[in-house]
Structure 1
Amino acid sequence: MKNSLVFSCVILLLFLMGVAAGSVVYSAIFLASLINRSLVNEWLPYVLLFIVIVVMAVTAYFTVRFVRQCRFQEMPALGEEQILPITAIIPALNEERTIVGCVESLMAAKYPKQKLEVIIAHEMPPKCTDATPALARQLAEKYANVHVIPNQDGHRGSKAGAINNSLSSAKGTIIAIYDADHIVARDALLRASAQFAANPGLACLGGKVMVRDVNYNWFTAIIGNECTVINNFSRYISELFTGQHMVYGSNLFIRKDVLEKIGGFDESSLTEDCDLGMKLIQGNYSMKMDYSIKSYEEPAITLRDWWHQRVRWTWGSISVLKKHMKADTSGGINNKGARTFLLYSLGTTGILFSIVLMGFVGFMLYMNVLTPLILLIVAAPLAVLFAAESIVDFCEGRGSVIDMAISIFIRPFIIYAYSLVGVYALVMDALSREREWYPSQRI
């Protein structure tokens, strides 16, 4: 009850700040002189239209560049000696619905089986309450290169712990991390190996994560490619302007010696992948994205699942930013780290200003200062991004015209829901609430 009350008060306060800002601007423009009123009424619609066109053009330019990188490139030709040993670690908690499909997709990969090892790092009862351990053992009996390592001792209870607990047993030069709900593209491992073989100094490689089963129910149909667009495009922009990017905790490849050198994953972090990315940036390790390396994950299938997942991501990001922004004895963060922090934190701190913006725009619309065209300034660039991803899906035989229409007219406004998610996460962090992990339902 207290959390909800504080959350509501913060939302109201931010909205009222926007209204106050709108009233100041309104007074400055319309109460100063009649000339200002006529100028605004006559020219403002054209100015807003011009801004929309410019914003859409800039977004379209970067979107086209991004989509080109996402297209399947020609399969790299590798000699047997160039194919590096890979250990794929799959942390699993109550994943009886998905674990078999994930492992089977790895077994079907175009990769020499003698150079591929799969470790299922599952939780043990009582934390695990379904048949995941039994299914893991069955898969290990079926495939000689599949091994089961229960997450126990001091590592129990987290994805980071499950991975760290498996590292000493991993034989691969490259560690691949996959969540249990992922289906891995057949050429993903070979493409990843080619990147490491061509770049001996490459420490970490990220692939593109896409959403499957988007038509499972009405909620997944509406959300659709929202996670794909925001996750992949944000990493693309970050890498484009800083040379570094935040890592995503699945379809992720990292050299084993690098992972050990930086101390593995932080088991206390709510978003261990975000923390790993910051450690790599701080250590000035070489990182790269290859959007032709694809895997497909399940979406959140209910509003509750979506809310708790996004709150956890945002709350964890806030914690990681606070942790790594603190100056250490060596003098604090490096230049690349600072620039990446800036870009990344815009997604975290920017959510506050979006609530303020709602109040400002709402007041100006109420006073007939602005036209509804102003709403396109926010929606238009997101519509371009979502539509582009829907076109990519359509070209791969997974999309539809209806999905494309939803991408253009509905999904862009999910940004307002993200504002609420972000503010709630900030409130929870400010109140020092205990961070909880809510398991997502599986299809």
Structure 2
Amino acid sequence: MTFADIISLYSIYAIWILMAINIILSIGGFIYYHRVKQTDGHCPLEEYPMVSIMVPAHNESIVIQRTVAALLNFDYPHDKYEIIVINDNSSDDSAEVLRKIQDKNPDRRLIVINTDSVAGGKGKSNALNIGFSVAEGSVIAIYDADNTPEPGALRLLVENLMSDDKIGAVIGKFRTRNRNATLLTRFVNIETLAYQCMNQAGRFFFFKLCTIPGTNFVMRRSIVEEIGGWDPKALSEDTEISFRIYRMGYYIKMMPLAVTWEQEPHLLSIWFKQRTRWAKGNIYVLLKNFKYIFDKSGGRMRFDVFYYLLVYILMLSSLIFSDIIFVSGILGFVHVFLSGFSTTLWVMAIMVFVLNVMITLAVEENEFSLQSAFLVLIMLFSYSKLWVAVVVNAIIKSISDAIFKREVKWDKTVRYVETAGNGKGNT
């Protein structure tokens, strides 16, 4: 057996291990979705707590009006929630847009905090800490500036949070509002449903684990106070604070009936910057929490750390090695003696991958189709390769930042004006 054979087999087995994990999580997620859909998801309360909805926003004038309108339209008791928009060192007309919204809604508690380059402009975590300093709610809700949550989302999240003292946070589901804009947004839509939503549901079903997605979630104010707010060094502040909630002994619940719609990057350059920031943030969180894998005090969080390590180590290495072997074989530099065996396993892996994703799409209205199956197949040979480039770029940037002691910078996702033909109404 040659070295090329060994590397090829490693790649195949690594992919199958990850696929087996995803299949198991998808099965759990499918069961959990089915159970939730048998109910309306509500846990009515005798008295609803005060909620502070915080929206960090930097140069978001294109989308912020639509977002605030959706937040004002919640069916949650209007006297029981406030909206705090942190207009974080924006250079566009966000301040004027928000002022006009305030003028049109004088009877609603809509607070706008306009920061400058001294106090603000340092990323989402810093903006959230600023907003939290004026928040009055016993429950904190977070929404990104491009979100349009459905009217019942907040009530569902809060009711489920208050239903059990062991729950530290409750997350909802987020959908791609502009899924029909480009081929890229179609890929993102499938990825979101199959891996971020379904896998989250499966992890909760089996392990009472969910990672906060950064938007459309609620958490207890007491938790934020106890942990001292958001880590300003964390680019993935959602993952970082999730791990701290786990270590406190709480668990995070998913309520898939609480839905928000968000604008995803429609251009590759914007997507690449966003995903590089996410990957850099996750690398930071992994390094920060790696020690807890061997520490019982880490509790169930240890599974999540291990899960992230598998994704970033096994998937990254297997995809890189398989591509190297494939290209080298075509160029005649190496010869894989087990090529027939490995080819069979690869073909089987591709078939199982497509089948697994299609099963997860089956739970969503208008998502299961032959077109979707074709897109999933294309994703495997394009989108996954882009993910490798993103992670490699994030690793290089993280190492470079550490060597040269650069301050962590937040690369904001650029928004665009959506047309009537690419919104959620056409899903």
TM over 0.5, yes or no?
yes
Contact 1:88/1:178 (CA < 8 Å) preserved in 2?
yes
Structure 1 stretch displaced more, 363-372 or 259-268: 363-372
Deviation at 1:174, TM superposition (A): 0.8
Residues 360 and 217 of structure 1, relative CA distance in 2, 3 Å threshold: closer
Residue 76 of structure 1 is matched in structure 2 by 42
Deviation at 1:138, TM superposition (A): 1.7
Quote the Cα distance in structure 1 between the aligned partners of 2:370 and 2:104. 41
Residue 263 of structure 1 is matched in structure 2 by 228
Contact 2:29/2:205 (CA < 8 Å) preserved in 1?
no
Contact 1:365/1:371 (CA < 8 Å) preserved in 2?
no
Residue 129 of structure 1 is matched in structure 2 by 91
Q: Secondary structure at the match of 2:365?
A: helix
Quote the Cα distance in structure 1 between the aligned partners of 2:386 and 2:399. 20
Deviation at 1:70, TM superposition (A): 6.5
Structure 1 stretch displaced more, 112-121 or 238-247: 238-247
Residue 308 of structure 2 is matched in structure 1 by 344
Give runs of aligned pairs for residues 132-281 of structure 1, distance below 5 A: 132-143=94-105, 144-152=108-116, 154-281=119-246
Partner deviation per Cα, 1:185-239 (whole Å, 9 max, x = no partner): 1111111121123213321111111111111123323443223432223433433
Give runs of aligned pairs for residues 372-387 of structure 1, distance below 5 A: 372-387=343-358
Residue 411 of structure 1 is matched in structure 2 by 379
Q: Secondary structure at the match of 2:172?
A: strand
Residues 366 and 212 of structure 1, relative CA distance in 2, 3 Å threshold: farther
Residues 223 and 25 of structure 1, relative CA distance in 2, 3 Å threshold: closer
Give runs of aligned pairs for residues 39-50 of structure 1, distance below 5 A: none
Q: Which runs of 5+ in 1 are unaligned?
A: 1-17, 27-49
Which amino acid is 1:437 matched to? W
Which amino acid is 2:415 matched to? R
Quote the Cα distance in structure 1 between the aligned partners of 2:26 and 2:163. 31
Residue 257 of structure 2 is matched in structure 1 by 292
Residues 58 and 289 of structure 1, relative CA distance in 2, 3 Å threshold: closer
Structure 1 stretch displaced more, 356-365 or 183-192: 356-365
Structure 1 stretch displaced more, 278-287 or 314-323: 278-287
Residues 419 and 372 of structure 1, relative CA distance in 2, 3 Å threshold: same
Residues 375 and 327 of structure 1, relative CA distance in 2, 3 Å threshold: closer
Q: Secondary structure at the match of 1:150?
A: strand
Q: Secondary structure at the match of 1:169?
A: coil
Residues 138 and 19 of structure 1, relative CA distance in 2, 3 Å threshold: farther
Partner deviation per Cα, 1:390-415 (whole Å, 9 max, x = no partner): 434435xxx47465234442233422
Q: What is the percentage of aligned positions where both structures have the same residue? A: 21
Structure 1 stretch displaced more, 380-389 or 343-352: 380-389
Residues 394 and 92 of structure 1, relative CA distance in 2, 3 Å threshold: same
Contact 1:56/1:384 (CA < 8 Å) preserved in 2?
no
Quote the Cα distance in structure 2 between the aligned partners of 1:55 and 1:147. 44
Quote the Cα distance in structure 2 between the aligned partners of 1:331 and 1:64. 32
Q: Secondary structure at the match of 1:221?
A: helix
Contact 1:211/1:225 (CA < 8 Å) preserved in 2?
no
Residue 43 of structure 1 is matched in structure 2 by none
Which amino acid is 1:340 matched to? D
Contact 2:42/2:160 (CA < 8 Å) preserved in 1?
no
Contact 2:265/2:414 (CA < 8 Å) preserved in 1?
yes
Match of 1:438 among 403, 408, 411: 411
Quote the Cα distance in structure 2 between the aligned partners of 1:138 and 1:179. 20
Residue 32 of structure 1 is matched in structure 2 by none
* 1:91 is the counterpart of 2:91: no
Quote the Cα distance in structure 2 between the aligned partners of 1:221 and 1:118. 31
TM-score, length of structure 2 as denominator length:
0.81
Residue 425 of structure 2 is matched in structure 1 by none
Moved over 6 A (4+): 23-26, 53-57
Residues 316 and 378 of structure 1, relative CA distance in 2, 3 Å threshold: farther
Residues 237 and 63 of structure 1, relative CA distance in 2, 3 Å threshold: closer
Which amino acid is 2:96 matched to? A
Q: Secondary structure at the match of 2:233?
A: coil
Residues 156 and 361 of structure 1, relative CA distance in 2, 3 Å threshold: closer
Partner deviation per Cα, 1:330-349 (whole Å, 9 max, x = no partner): 97852323222101221222
Which amino acid is 1:375 matched to? W
Contact 2:30/2:198 (CA < 8 Å) preserved in 1?
no
Quote the Cα distance in structure 1 between the aligned partners of 2:353 and 2:368. 19
Quote the Cα distance in structure 2 between the aligned partners of 1:340 and 1:136. 39
Match of 1:102 among 67, 76, 85: 67
* 1:334 is the counterpart of 2:302: no
Q: Secondary structure at the match of 2:170?
A: strand
Residue 365 of structure 2 is matched in structure 1 by 394
Larger-gyration structure (1/2): 1
Which amino acid is 2:147 matched to? H
Contact 1:182/1:296 (CA < 8 Å) preserved in 2?
yes
Residue 10 of structure 1 is matched in structure 2 by none
Deviation at 1:436, TM superposition (A): 4.0
Quote the Cα distance in structure 2 between the aligned partners of 1:266 and 1:285. 19
Q: Which runs of 5+ in 2 are unaligned?
A: 10-15, 417-427
Contact 1:99/1:181 (CA < 8 Å) preserved in 2?
yes
Match of 1:311 among 261, 273, 276: 276
Residues 120 and 54 of structure 1, relative CA distance in 2, 3 Å threshold: closer
Residue 3 of structure 2 is matched in structure 1 by 20
Q: Secondary structure at the match of 1:369?
A: helix
TM-score, length of structure 1 as denominator length:
0.79
Cα root mean square deviation, aligned = 3.3
Residues 376 and 310 of structure 1, relative CA distance in 2, 3 Å threshold: farther
